[in-house]
Amino acid sequence: MLLLPLLALLLPPRALASPLSRAHTSAYSIKESLPAPPPGWAHHSPAPPDHPLRLRIGLTQPRFGELEQALWDVSTPGSDRYGLHLGKEDVEELIRPHEDSLALVDAWLEEHGIPLSALSRSPAQDWVTLTLPVSLAEALLDTTYHVYRHTPSGDYLVRTLQYSLPAHLHAHVDVVQPSTTFARLAPKRSTLHGAPVALASASTPAIPASCNHTITPACLKEIYNVGAYVPSATSGNKLGIAGYLEEWANMNDTNWFYQDLLPQAAAAGYMFSVELINNGTNSQNESDAGGEANLDVQYAGGVSFPIPNIYYSTGGSPPFTPDLNTPTDSNEPYAEFLAYMLAKTDKELPRSLTTSYGDDEQTVPYSYAVRVCNEFAQLGARGVSVMFSSGDGGVGDGLGPNDQADGPTTCLTNDGKNTSSFLAGFPASCPYVTAVGGTYHESPERAVPFSGGGFSKYFPRPLYQAAAVGGYLAANPAYLSLYEGLFNPFGRAYPDVSAQSNNFTVNLGGQFVLEAGTSASCPTFTGIISLVNDKLITSGRPALGFLNPWLYTVGHYGFNDITIGNNPGCFTDGFNATVGWDPVTGWGTPDFAKIAKIVVPY
């Protein structure tokens, strides 16, 4: 989207006003506000007036309740509609705004000299996108934008602490961003060892003890009971991998990875394909190889080979450089990625999707979190299993009761009260995605201490997990008093599942290194689900789609229960893994053979 033509920006505010807009003009009132920047963010300077913002206006979706009911129906075993996923047009009809909303928002924009020809609209008309300078955005939203700096990373964002809308538009507009969102979309991984790692021959039979020290695709297939199962490469099943922040997936590194650890894939010329979103790139310079991207593609492909894998590289992300008059905007790439995916035809969509990025829930304004979460519901209704890493900070910052912090604690609310609090992760806390926690070791497999887990403060506990989560809290009543005020016991609980997440052997820059994080468990679990979808599709059945209603009713019987470990954070021990579901490892880790028998019993 090009910056609005100068002539249009110089028009008097009411030069293009329609009779409808004049009839509905009303005073501005605050739509959304923050008392202060989230912890770790500080004011840097006023935003340059000519800095371009790619503004997205989310119109209300009056029929979303019908879409949500359809999602439950097509995702819940025993329902007459189970597996009958909705098509693109069906979903768009259910989220389309009311005609009055469309007309009133158009009139408001015209009042500010913005021609309708400058707007871009989503297929369902529920998002309006336009690129305009900060000065015009400030007039449109009755606000002032500033540059904020994230002290730990040095990243910058152009944001505001509040914005307003004409009073008559509040019922028609859910959210306007970028405005009050400070999420950084951080990858959930860390490099453990930069030095080359010695590998056993790929032809060596898998030895369980070796998998306690280094994880390879062979380890994962053994631990999760894949056996000799070989999926189809041509059934139409696809696995998607979301990438952001100029994390580039390197094909040479991946080919070397396959040569050493999955030679049959290398011999077949197996490789992920790439789709670029919002001016995204995927540099193949060896020095540009991304640790997160390589981890994702090598293990998603390593588990699911020969199922086609697609790496989606989304541009449009921070950092913004405040000292330069740069044309780079600072929009949240989630919005661009979701717009791209939802515009795809049903045939083009992957059946499973892994994302290893996220941030603290409280850095995402409630209204925006709900809209993003609702878009994941749309993907689920169309038959896509959406997985997210649960995070790497346990219940907050990963610090146990005996640890020392390097700086001020981050386990504080950003509501202006600075109250001690566990920090839920988003989008893992969205009830329409499957959150993947972490484990390590095997025989027995146990919770890795950094496994993100807990309870959302934004989203209430969904019905599908009422019995499991209620049972956990009833069996562990001490948490309600010990952690009183630190978490919301009535919130959506996560993770839902888990998988290995430590000591993953990754080829990066031509060398094998070890990496860890729920960034590793998420593509691993997604690879297993892609195998399950293959089993279903080749048996003439629909793919699983949104997993959680299935998972919490019958699917969990195909999982290995993890009962050892905890997830410390915020100077506490966090929660304990235990029999059944728990907020450290969810239902545990997948057993492919057991799951296959559940979904295709004959």
Give the catalytic positions in this structure: 292, 296, 519
Give residue for tokens 């997936």: 249
Strand 273-277 to 309-314 pairing: parallel
Strand 589-590 to 434-440 pairing: unpaired
DSSP class of residue 479 equals H
**3-state SS, one letter per residue, for 525-562:** HHHHHHHHHHHHHHCCCCCCCCCHHHHHHCHHHHEECC
Residues belonging to the binding site are: 561-562, 580, 582
- Cα separation, 155 vs 345, whole angstroms: 36
Distances (CA, A) of 276 to 174, 315, 341: 28, 8, 12
Sign of CA dihedral 207, 213, 217, 220: positive
- Cα separation, 381 vs 67, whole angstroms: 8
**Of 592, 590, 501, 534, whose CA–CA distance to 308 is shortest?**
534
- Cα separation, 580 vs 235, whole angstroms: 35
Alpha carbon 60 to its chain's center: 22
- Cα separation, 204 vs 83, whole angstroms: 41
DSSP assignments along 137-154, one per residue: HHHHHT---EEEEETTT-
- Cα separation, 185 vs 302, whole angstroms: 25
- Cα separation, 147 vs 129, whole angstroms: 22
**Of 247, 354, 357, 255, whose CA–CA distance to 293 is shortest?**
247
- Cα separation, 174 vs 57, whole angstroms: 8
Q: Which residues of 71-108 are buried (b: 16+ CB within 10 A; e: fewer)?
A: bbbbbbeeeeebbebbebeebbebbbbeeebbbbbbbb
Q: Is 28 left (phi over 0), alpha (psi -120 to 50) or beta?
A: beta
- Cα separation, 549 vs 75, whole angstroms: 6
Long-range contacts of range 10-14, CB-CB < 8 Å, 24 or more positions apart? Answer: 10/113, 11/113, 12/113, 13/111, 13/112, 13/113, 13/139, 14/111
Residues belonging to the binding site for Ca(2+) are: 561-562, 580, 582
